[in-house]
Each structure stands twice: as structure tokens, then as C-alpha cells.
Amino acid sequence: VQLQASGGGLVQAGDSLRLSCSASGAIFSLNAMGWFRQTPGKDREFVAAFAWSSDMAYYADSVKGRFTASRDSTKSTVHLQMNILKPEDTAVYYCALRNYARSGDYGREDEYDNWGQGTLVTVSS
């Protein structure tokens, strides 16, 4: 399975970006797509997840109300619409595919089976 993340870039505070993650290859199952981010010297943190089974999205408190995770009609692509970006949103963003549910916690990295390569988002003040 290959996950291709795209859409990162350099923007100013208050701007928007849309990240996309497309899954291809021998996909066992599409249960959920998670988004995580990491800055140098810090642990990777959960940002959002989209669950195909329920067609629902889940968010970290830090992005709730600003970010929206959704899928497109191809089903194997998930977008992360990021609005009102802040400098503290600067990070490398990773998408991750969960083939099946292990627990109800979308924020756990060990819930996910495949990871994308990451895309850099830089928000200037």
C-alpha cells in the first residue's frame, strides 16, 4: 500500500491549505485515514481522522473548528482542509491508513497500518 500526501506549502497566518492523501496498491481495507503532525524535537501528534465506516471525522482540540477531514468520491483519497492557519500549525503532516479498528482511539499511532511520507506545512506570522 502506498500513501501519497500532497498539498503542503508556505502560507501566512490566517490562510488556508488543503492536504490530500491518496491510497493505492494492495489495499486490504479502508477503515480510517488519520492525519498526524510533527515538529523537530517533538513527538508526532494526532491532528484528525476520517472514518469511512461511519463517514465521520474526529479532531484534536487544537484544530477543532479550523480543520476539516473529508473523503472524495474516489473513496481512497482523504482531504484535510486547514483554515485559519496559525504559526503553531507549522509541522510535517503525515497521513496514515487504518485497515481495521483495534480500539476506538483514532489518536493512537499504533492503530494505523501504513504511513505516508509527510508533507511540510509552514505558517509564517
Look at residue 3 and tell me whether its pLDDT is greater than 80.
yes
Question: DSSP states of 34-79 as a string?
Answer: EEEEE-TTS--EEEEEEETTTTEEEE-TTTTTTEEEEE-TTSSEEE
1 pLDDT more than 90: no
pLDDT in tens, 6-50: 999 999 999 999 999 999 887 778 899 999 999 999 999 999 999
- Residues found in the chain: 125
> Does residue 74 surpass a pLDDT of 80?
no
Please write the tens of the pLDDT for every residue from 91-121. 999 999 999 888 879 999 999 999 999 999 9
